[in-house]
Structure 1
């Protein structure tokens, strides 16, 4: 039997009726009241997510910016303290080892937030690639992470902390000890809605979670709705839409690669074999990971990486890698285990009414 890690909130999830399943080596909640209920509640009010399985590293010391800037795709020369940036850790050929957010805590002090399943390989790759001087530390086990997402998340956060957060801009963060312990509040998220990610001591996570869950505007949300929420916005998932066999350019994320200086994997970005394309499927029948994507002639051109019914839209959506020369094709056929589905190429995001960037 697989031995799964737990988060500081695992017992709470079980005690409150969550359906649990393995994810990234952790025992994680899939749903509480139901995926569609949790999805719609997050779009309308506020949902809270246990994201304690993520990995966090700290890099501190003289030359940290210059050293890290040679390892990741982020342009750290333009990242000021109090701001964070999304980007990639690549292998030598340009394939995506992980997607991550880097927080500039101060001059030569950074926090890197990586996917839980990639924690070990990311740490080894970064540490081996750094020059002497700055020190890389894995702080994952001592760090808890709770996401508060939805149009009412600002009001919920202000009730929790007793502080106004209106001035915190998108992809900015602020450190506070307003609850009696250090906490980093980041205006970021994975749902497309106004939201905040809270980084706090792992032993304080349960206390904060229970206070949030007691708010009548809040519902706990599992991995099921987290997946449908992110897919409606077109956010990729590592291990499905992102992997070491594809570059950020092929994943449709080339616009994040604005840095002119060299970094690991940059030389491999010019090779484009496949492209990740967004597809709309009418009705409730959906495509699944690894379903074949074919041209109208029946010739296979790629595979589905993510697919689901989109509760906010009333139909199904999918992301799929297809041959680069076929990426501009308007219509495809997806072969599922039982039926063939007609799919139409569209533009992201699928769901266009998200509040993530709204002025508050």
Structure 2
């Protein structure tokens, strides 16, 4: 078994008694006080998450916007400096190789944030599809990523850094100083709550982590709560809800494909054979990844990609790819290992009280 990668915070997690487990090749904290407790604290106050396993690339050079526009689905022509945008890296068949956020750092200068398990393959794919004169650098090892999420994250952020961030809009970012180094503060997240993501030198990660924990509203949370939080608001996980066999349109993101550039996979990314459908399940028993989905008459029509009990909703929820021709049906059965679960088609997000887009006053 290959040795697991460690983040700059791994030793802290072990010392704090976190339950650790392998994730995307990294030794990562799954929980501290418990998944439900951490989930509920994030919904009501603020939590910090170690997300240092993610990959970051710098891309710049004359013509970088045009060159990158041929590799990703993002509409970079309308992405201004200080803003970031979610989108996809596709293969020739329109399948999703990864989902990623692109940050516009300046004219023809970008930072790409990719999933940890895809860092090497993404870098290779992007590099081979860029002109030689465009500089692409993998800065993942020298970059730390910490997420602060929850309705009280603004108070924690401002008390930690000693300045106002009230004017920072959703999917906007700014660069600040931390102990003499540069740090990006991005109003983004993966929980459905008001929150911020920090990109900073790995050497400063523990300093920021400890400073944030000095705030009375802030507690650490693991990847277990991060998963239930993101599922409640219908955010997809690459490798489960997104993969190379499905297009962005099948995953429900067809409306985001606005770029006029001739990017890899364009056209094929509109194909829909299956649709990612939201399902609610009465009670606490949840569906599991790869559980078959049938119609009430037993006809198999799909497969579960994500499933969990949703603490803020009060029942179990799931995402599943369902054949296009029956995706609008309202009633399904999920064939679990021990029993069948009745499931009803729902609208996303499951949890509708999230604060992510809150307009801050002051």
Q: Cα deviation per residue 1:19-53 (whole Å; 9 max; x = unaligned)?
A: 00000110000000000000000000000000000
Q: CA deviation at 1:211?
A: 1.2
Corresponding residue SS for 1:182: strand
Q: Does structure 1 retain, via aligned residues, the 8 Å contact 2:248–2:270? A: no
Find out whether 1:196 has 2:208 as its counterpart. Answer: no
Alignment match, 1:83? 83
Alignment match, 2:236? 236
Alignment match, 2:223? 223
Q: Distance in 2 between matches of 1:253 and 1:297?
A: 30
Find out whether 1:109 has 2:144 as its counterpart. Answer: no
Alignment match, 1:9? 9
Q: Distance in 1 between matches of 2:342 and 2:255?
A: 29
Structure 1 unaligned blocks of 5 or more: none
Q: CA deviation at 1:60?
A: 1.1
Matches for 1:122-271 after TM superposition, within 5 Å: 122-177=122-177, 179-271=179-271
Q: Does structure 1 retain, via aligned residues, the 8 Å contact 2:254–2:270? A: no
Q: Does structure 1 retain, via aligned residues, the 8 Å contact 2:69–2:263? A: yes
Alignment match, 2:94? 94
Alignment match, 2:42? 42
Name the stretch that deviates more: 171-180 or 99-108: 171-180
Q: Distance in 2 between matches of 1:155 and 1:270?
A: 42
Q: Does structure 1 retain, via aligned residues, the 8 Å contact 2:85–2:171? A: yes
Q: What's the TM-score once normalised by structure 2's chain length?
A: 0.98
Q: CA deviation at 1:180?
A: 2.6
Q: Distance in 1 between matches of 2:155 and 2:111?
A: 27
Q: Does structure 1 retain, via aligned residues, the 8 Å contact 2:192–2:356? A: yes
Q: What's the TM-score once normalised by structure 1's chain length?
A: 0.99
Q: Does structure 1 retain, via aligned residues, the 8 Å contact 2:7–2:52? A: yes
C-alpha RMSD of matched pairs (Å):
0.8
Corresponding residue SS for 1:269: helix
Structure 2 unaligned blocks of 5 or more: none
Q: Distance in 2 between matches of 1:129 and 1:11?
A: 38
Q: Distance in 2 between matches of 1:189 and 1:221?
A: 14
Q: Distance in 1 between matches of 2:255 and 2:42?
A: 28
Q: Distance in 2 between matches of 1:262 and 1:296?
A: 43
Q: CA deviation at 1:132?
A: 2.8
Q: Distance in 1 between matches of 2:87 and 2:173?
A: 17
Q: Does structure 2 retain, via aligned residues, the 8 Å contact 1:161–1:179? A: no
Alignment match, 1:28? 28
Q: CA deviation at 1:178?
A: 5.0
Find out whether 1:62 has 2:81 as its counterpart. Answer: no
Matches for 1:323-342 after TM superposition, within 5 Å: 323-342=323-342
Corresponding pairs, count:
360
Corresponding residue SS for 1:237: coil
Runs ≥4 residues deviating over 2 A: none
